[in-house]
Amino acid sequence: MRRIIAIVTTSLLLAACGNSGDSPKTEETGLNGAGKTLNVLVQANTIYPDQQRAWFTEINDKFKAQTGAEVKFETFASPNDELTKIQTSVLSGQGPDIYSLGTTFTPTAYATGAFLELKDDDWKKLGGKDAFLPATLGISGPDAEHQVGIPFTSRPFVMAYNTDLLKAAGIDKPADSWDGLLEQAKKLTSGGTYGLAVAYADGFDPWKFIWAMSVQAGNPLVKDKKASLSDPSTLKAYQTYLGWLATDKVVNPAAVGWKNAQAIADFGAGKAAFLPMVSATSKVTLDKSAVAGKYAYAIMPTIPPGQTSKPGNGVGATSILSGDNLVVAKYTKNKDLALALVKLLTSPEQQESYYKTFGELPTNATAAKKLQSDPALAPIIDSASKASGTPFNGAWSQVQLALVNVVVQSIPALKDGKLDEAKLKALIADGQKAAQDALDKSK
């Protein structure tokens, strides 16, 4: 607690010092960056740490050859780390020039007003908006005129399934409705194997399920600053998601303690037939696991629970619009250099090589087109095109937290083998209130 006070206060102090330090701006239209350094904050890649370090060097060399400026990468370990870094930088007006942000955090970042809103001129310097896949721009800003996020990578969510287990059970392909998936999962649950691997204790996974099932049933959760968590469709989503473990028993009871990585590991050990809500980055782990060569990806169901076809007002979202956006800090003294670096990072060549090294899909239209022919990627690219953006509101992070909280507080009762609807409703009502309070304050 004291530490928090300390963090807040030191950053406030820094802010006081930082504001006075505005140095005269050196205009570099010709982009002579000699002697200058750009700082970039990206997430530490725990799957490919060595490749990431090599990539840092490569980008630095390339950019230095182009402009003479150096690029220094800093990494953060978790989204919470990044938040702290952003908050201190925003307060102090100094820090990284460019940040890589998760898509769902972009609305909150936009709300701080600390990042560069891209004007036509800026987009031109980036090679034009047309250079990007249109869908990936869906969460760059509240509308096309106010965008801060430049799409960098795309990580749509899909579902992995164990081809051997499905074949043995006589199932030819994963269902396209959540009810159908549950039926298949029941068939596939026997002995030590379970139908589904789900990370109930993950800090982020649960809300993505609830969101997907809700929007598919026509409830966007947030619209015009109104939260609609208390809608029956969301209750149904929670009942379905929690019911897999509590009443349907198609998930390993130990999953109440799993984070995403543990669900992947369990599927990798061949102990689960379906692994919903993973991105293509899981491929690395799975290709080294016991199910290597015995699994495939498919899009997740788009027909909401309790239905046999998508309702008229439902959105057939296969995934949240997921990936990373790059944002340029307003306080940067090297705006043009920063834009030039973003242009380099989103160029077709870089995007292609980034995909080959890290398995993250390009946002660059040219690079993405090249990959479309790869059959292994088909479901993932399919999901990317059917992904839907989460509500663009500065309070979205709080709504997310409220959604996850319902799951966290529901977990202790799951082992009783039934879902208490009244209790669940009370928890959802708390979530609705928290979400609405946050939305009421949003600007």
For the chain, what is the largest distance between any 2 Cα atoms, rounded to a whole number of angstroms? 71
Binding test (CB under 8 A) with other proteins, winner from 45, 87, 163, 228:
87
What is the total count of residues that contact other proteins (CB under 8 A)?
47
Say which residue the tokens 């998936």 belong to: 181
| Alpha carbon separation from 332 to 84, 96, 336, 357, 365 (Å, rounded) | 19, 8, 10, 30, 28
Q: Is 230 in the site for other proteins (CB under 8 A)?
A: no
* C-alpha to C-alpha distance for 334 and 126, rounded to whole angstroms: 15
Contacting other proteins within 235-264 (CB under 8 A): 252-257
Q: Is 8 in the site for other proteins (CB under 8 A)?
A: yes
Q: Is 232 in the site for other proteins (CB under 8 A)?
A: no
**Burial code of 234-262, b = ≥16 C-beta within 10 A, e = fewer?**
bbbbbbbbbbbbbebbbbbeebbebebeb
Q: Is 77 in the site for other proteins (CB under 8 A)?
A: no
Binding test (CB under 8 A) with other proteins, winner from 14, 15, 365, 378:
15
Q: Is 1 in the site for other proteins (CB under 8 A)?
A: yes
Find residue 38's DSSP bridge partners.
71
* C-alpha to C-alpha distance for 322 and 277, rounded to whole angstroms: 11
How far from each other are the two terminal CA atoms of the chain, in whole angstroms? 29
Q: What phi, psi does 97 have (nearest 5°)?
A: -80, -35
* C-alpha to C-alpha distance for 415 and 302, rounded to whole angstroms: 28
- Give the number of other CB atoms < 10 A from CB of residue 414: 21
Q: Is 127 in the site for other proteins (CB under 8 A)?
A: no
Q: Is 108 in the site for other proteins (CB under 8 A)?
A: yes
Find residue 272's DSSP bridge partners.
194
Q: Is 397 in the site for other proteins (CB under 8 A)?
A: yes
Q: Is 203 in the site for other proteins (CB under 8 A)?
A: yes
State both tokens at 225: 């600053």
Q: Is 290 in the site for other proteins (CB under 8 A)?
A: no
Side chain identity, residue 234? T
Tell me the closest approach of the beta carbon of residue 203 to other proteins, in angstroms. 6
Tell me the closest approach of the beta carbon of residue 401 to other proteins, in angstroms. 5
- Of 2-10, 129-137, 274-282, 417-425, which part binds other proteins (CB under 8 A)? 2-10
* C-alpha to C-alpha distance for 53 and 55, rounded to whole angstroms: 5
* C-alpha to C-alpha distance for 76 and 54, rounded to whole angstroms: 17
Q: Is 296 in the site for other proteins (CB under 8 A)?
A: no
Tell me the closest approach of the beta carbon of residue 282 to other proteins, in angstroms. 20
* C-alpha to C-alpha distance for 229 and 431, rounded to whole angstroms: 7
Q: List, in order, residues 6 or more apart from 353 with CB less than 8 Å away.
A: none
Nearer to other proteins, 9 or 32 (CB): 9
State both tokens at 276: 């919903």
Q: Is 144 in the site for other proteins (CB under 8 A)?
A: no
Tell me the closest approach of the beta carbon of residue 301 to other proteins, in angstroms. 27
Q: Is 422 in the site for other proteins (CB under 8 A)?
A: no
* C-alpha to C-alpha distance for 298 and 170, rounded to whole angstroms: 17
Q: List, in order, residues 6 or more apart from 53 with CB less than 8 Å away.
A: none
Nearer to other proteins, 59 or 428 (CB): 428
Q: Is 404 in the site for other proteins (CB under 8 A)?
A: yes
| Residue 186 CA to its chain's centroid (Å) | 29
Nearer to other proteins, 341 or 438 (CB): 438
Nearer to other proteins, 4 or 422 (CB): 4
Q: Is 5 in the site for other proteins (CB under 8 A)?
A: yes
Tell me the closest approach of the beta carbon of residue 193 to other proteins, in angstroms. 15
Say which residue the tokens 């978790």 belong to: 78
Q: Is 59 in the site for other proteins (CB under 8 A)?
A: no
135 close to 317: Cβ distance less than 8 angstroms: no
Q: Is 356 in the site for other proteins (CB under 8 A)?
A: no
Q: Is 265 in the site for other proteins (CB under 8 A)?
A: no
Q: Is 13 in the site for other proteins (CB under 8 A)?
A: yes
Tell me the closest approach of the beta carbon of residue 4 to other proteins, in angstroms. 6
3-state secondary structure of 11: helix
Q: Is 111 in the site for other proteins (CB under 8 A)?
A: yes
Q: Is 91 in the site for other proteins (CB under 8 A)?
A: yes
Q: Compose the 362-391 pattern: x for residues touching other proteins by CB under 8 A, - for all others.
A: ------------------------------
Following CA atoms 250, 161, 354, 116 in sequence, which dihedral angle do they give, to the nearest 10 degrees?
-40
Contact residues for other proteins, defined by CB under 8 A: 1-6, 8-10, 12-13, 15, 80, 83-84, 87, 90-91, 108, 111-114, 201, 203, 252-257, 394, 397-398, 401, 404-405, 408-409, 411-413, 415, 438, 441-443
